[in-house]
Amino acid sequence: MGSLQRFHVGPRLSETAVHNGTVYLAGQVPDDLSKDIKGQTAEVLGMVERLLKEAGSDKSRILMAQIFLKDISEIGAMNEVWDAWIPVGNTPPRATVQALMAKDGYRIEIVVTAAQL
């Protein structure tokens, strides 16, 4: 069966679920919608890092990342922030696509799956 733990459980979703040593994060979006793509990316990656730590993991243990951008032409600026954040030698498989966002002002949403430490 395996263990299952949820963090920050709400009526619609949990921010994190951990099952058998794998950490699943819900899509993380920025709080400050006035920021440009670099600012929103940095904010969201900070959220990812905090949630991974809370679940007993870290960014070096990311198994897969899915990145949704409102405007794919901003991928270069987003990649600058991502490349500075992700540990060298631990770059995970990743998909990046352009997508409609759930709220005006969101420029990015990131979904991560990671292994526990």
List, for residues 79-96, the tens digit of each pLDDT value.
999 999 999 999 999 999
One-letter identity of residue 37: I
Indicate yes or no: pTM above 0.85: yes
Burial of 55 (0-12, 13-18, 19+ CB in 10 A): buried
Least Cα distance to 44 among 95, 103, 106, 96 occurs for 106
Question: Which residues of the chain, if any, have pLDDT below 50?
Answer: none
Copy the structure tokens of residue 40.
């929103």
Report the alpha-carbon angle 55-106-53, nearest 5. 10
Least Cα distance to 17 among 52, 66, 64 occurs for 52
The DSSP symbol for 95 reads: E
